[in-house]
Amino acid sequence: MSNHLGSICDVKGDKISFFMKKDANLSFGQIVRVDSGGRSFYARVVNAQSKSTLETGEQLREAEGKETFGPYSCYKNIEAILFLEKRAGKVRSPTFNPNYMDKVFQTTQEDSAVLKLGGELQIGNFRSGESMLGNVGIDSDAIPRMLGMFGMTGSGKTNTELIVNAQLIDHSPQTAGLIFDFAGQLLEGKELFNVGLRDHPLFHSKVCFYSTKAGKMRVGLRTLRPEKLRNLFSDITDPQYRLAQKIYGQLGEEWIEKVCEVWERNGPAGVTKLVSAHKGTINALMQKLTHLNPALFPPSPYSFIDDVIENISQGVTCLVDISGITAEEQHRIVCLTASGVANHYKREWERNYERWQLLPTLLITLEEAHEFLDPARERTIFSSIALTYRKYRVGLNAVTPRPSRINPDVFAELWTKVIMKTELKADRDYLTKNTPYLEYSDTELKMLDIGEALLISEPKIRFAVPVKVVHYADYLKTREKVDYRLPPSKTFEVMGKKLKQLQNAGKSLGNS
Ligand SMILES: Nc1ncnc2c1ncn2[C@@H]1O[C@H](COP(=O)(O)OP(=O)(O)OP(=O)(O)O)[C@@H](O)[C@H]1O
Ligand SMILES: [Mg+2]
């Protein structure tokens, strides 16, 4: 038997009010159950008022200590919104509402099972007041239906990203992640977490790390065909793009290196000799090409993106650390990589459906998503992914503290939303206006604690579930170390002997 919270005193449409028992405990957003005859209803607490049976004048005189009145009753009146009904074992949207004096209860583990919150990619626990009930997770089907994680600085977004990606790694090779780490904190966790993806027990077999520091992140100029320029330079115009195609037609694979040489030697006149074009267009395109950072874009046929594609196809999650380079370069690397990987999925779907079926379902995690999904900007690879890549099983996880700066068309496509503490009014208004089932949660959004979230994951979870996201360090504690079955390494003594033998053999070869 769950805790009795109170009894219904008023019902109108999907709004119910109940008197709360004196010793009961409740919080905004909490989910309660109302038993009504053969049905149970589930409702979310949206408002609370304290009142007494005294009239205003009497209350005032009592407050000022002028008179005492009595006996009178004080009561707490709670408002809640119905969102589900359970009848004969079936759960659906409410078809009716409860009756006067029906009893209201705190939700239990059993209710958590009824609400079917435990998806395979577990992210936390169902919060019911102070208690933590069953697991809450999303299904892998939710990945291509796109995700969004929102919350102000310090609300726990990065932790949630770590948890979701740890789950993708655990479910490899059915799922894989591609993560862009702008702050360079996901590998080691830095001082915020002290643990990162490097501490995941499957890190050595299921994760690949790329960073500019180790020189592993290079995109050879010879891999850049003109069509990729749209991802490299968001402001490229159609005439500049057509000019790039003409130059590529003339010079082939090494077109960027060669045209830059010509430009350095003979300026615009040299390029005009190669292809005919307006001088302004040539200048604008050449400004772009000559300013590519040679450390990231060397003249070679190697691109780390091919390696990323290969790894992801095998179910290996790729962590791309783009800290330490300029914002412009970050933008270039992120767009090029995401488009390379997403287009691989598209191409396989179009040309080799059987091979495509073997690809893991992919989730691309993008922090600072507002920079790439701004309504004022032209369509980017990320808006295309969110709007059209569902059928290829490529999902986007847009993470941002500023949801109101995300294009509303894209926002509507993010069917799974993890909403954390948000104080800014503009963002709360945007979230509550544009997210179904959140219209009464404005107050709740600013009252959430670190790591607390509201989760909506359509079509499976059609209401805002209060969740406490598992802390990544605690998740790691529940994971056992993985035995890679490697043979024990030899002792230094044995290795030293072998080295000496090799040195001696080398010397004798040198003498002969
Ligand atoms: N579920 C949680 N339980 C306990 N502590 C948490 C939880 N989630 C995050 N924290 C702690 O809160 C702090 C901030 O978390 P996090 O870095 O994830 O926030 P953020 O939203 O990504 O912030 P920013 O916008 O600055 O990147 C960290 O110290 C982290 O350890
Ligand atoms: Mg963060």
Regarding the beta carbon of 153 and ligand 1, being less than 6 Å apart is answered yes
268-274 contact pairs (CB < 8 A, 24+): 271/247, 274/247, 274/250
Report pLDDT for 483: 67
Tokens of 394: 């490529």
Ligand nearest to the CA of 153: 1
Ligand nearest to the CA of 125: 1
Amino acid present at 345:
Y
Please report which confidence band the pLDDT of residue 482 belongs to, taking 50, 70 and 90 as the band edges.
Answer: low
Regarding the beta carbon of 154 and ligand 1, being less than 6 Å apart is answered yes
Regarding the beta carbon of 159 and ligand 1, being less than 6 Å apart is answered yes
Contact between 331 and 371 (Cβ < 8 Å): yes
Please report which confidence band the pLDDT of residue 1 belongs to, taking 50, 70 and 90 as the band edges.
Answer: very low
Give how far the C-alpha of residue 5 lies from the chain's centroid of Cα atoms, to the nearest Å.
Answer: 36
Instruction: Look at residue 65 and give its three-state secondary structure.
Output: coil
Ligand nearest to the CA of 420: 1
* Whole-number Å distance between alpha carbons of 98 and 82: 9
| Average pLDDT over all residues of the chain | 90
Probe target for ligand 1 pocket from 125, 132, 152, 158, with the most ligand atoms within 8 Å of CB: 158
Q: How far is the CA of 400 from the centre of ligand 2 (A)?
A: 9
Regarding the beta carbon of 403 and ligand 1, being less than 6 Å apart is answered no
> Which homologous superfamily does the CATH classification assign to the domain defined by 135-218+303-478?
P-loop containing nucleotide triphosphate hydrolases (3.40.50.300)
Regarding the beta carbon of 471 and ligand 1, being less than 6 Å apart is answered yes
DSSP class of 224: -
Probe target for ligand 1 pocket from 152, 192, 197, 475, with the most ligand atoms within 8 Å of CB: 192
Q: What atom in ligand 1 is closest to the CA of residue 183? A: 27
Tokens of 141: 């089907």
* Whole-number Å distance between alpha carbons of 187 and 201: 13
- Which of 17-21, 436-440, 463-467 is predicted with the least confidence, judged by mean pLDDT? 436-440
Name the most confidently modeled range: 52-66, 104-118, 354-368: 354-368
Main-chain phi, psi angles of 37, to 5 degrees = 60, -130
Runs of H (alpha helix) within 441-491: 442-447, 472-478
182-190 average pLDDT score: 89
Could you tell me what percent of the chain has a pLDDT over 70? 99
Buried b / exposed e across 303-319, counting CB within 10 Å, b at 16+?
Answer: bbbeebbebbbebbbbb
Probe target for ligand 1 pocket from 126, 136, 159, with the most ligand atoms within 8 Å of CB: 159
Instruction: Classify strands 461-469 and 317-321 as parallel, antiparallel or unpaired.
Output: unpaired
pLDDT digits (tens, 9 = 90+) for 304-347: 999 999 999 999 999 999 998 999 999 999 999 999 999 999 99
Partner residues linked to 74 by β-bridges:
52
Q: How far is the CA of 183 from the centre of ligand 2 (A)?
A: 8
CA separation, residue 128 to residues 164, 201, 375, 468 (Å): 22, 31, 37, 10
Regarding the beta carbon of 193 and ligand 1, being less than 6 Å apart is answered yes
Contact between 458 and 415 (Cβ < 8 Å): yes
Regarding the beta carbon of 191 and ligand 1, being less than 6 Å apart is answered no
Q: How far is the CA of 451 from the centre of ligand 1 (A)?
A: 7
Ligand nearest to the CA of 155: 1
Domain ranges of the chain: 4-115, 135-218+303-478, 223-290
pLDDT digits (tens, 9 = 90+) for 126-153: 988 778 888 999 999 999 999 999 999 9
CA separation, residue 396 to residues 144, 367, 388 (Å): 7, 11, 11
End-to-end CA distance of the chain: 90
Q: How far is the CA of 193 from the centre of ligand 1 (A)?
A: 8
Ligand nearest to the CA of 127: 1
pLDDT digits (tens, 9 = 90+) for 371-412: 999 888 778 899 999 999 999 999 999 999 999 999 999 999
Nearest CA to ligand 1 atom 11: 156
> Hey, what's the torsion of the CAs at 148, 152, 155, 157, to 10 degrees?
30
| Per-chain residues with Cβ under 5 A from ion ligand 2 | 157-158
Regarding the beta carbon of 156 and ligand 1, being less than 6 Å apart is answered yes
pTM summary value: 0.87
Partner residues linked to 464 by β-bridges:
none
CA separation, residue 106 to residues 44, 103, 113, 225 (Å): 11, 10, 14, 60
Main-chain phi, psi angles of 265, to 5 degrees = -70, -55
In order, the DSSP letters of 256-323 are: HHHHHHHHHHHHHHHHHHHS---HHHHHHHHHHHHTS-TTTS-SSS-BHHHHHHHHHHTT-EEEEE-T
Q: What atom in ligand 1 is closest to the CA of residue 192? A: 29
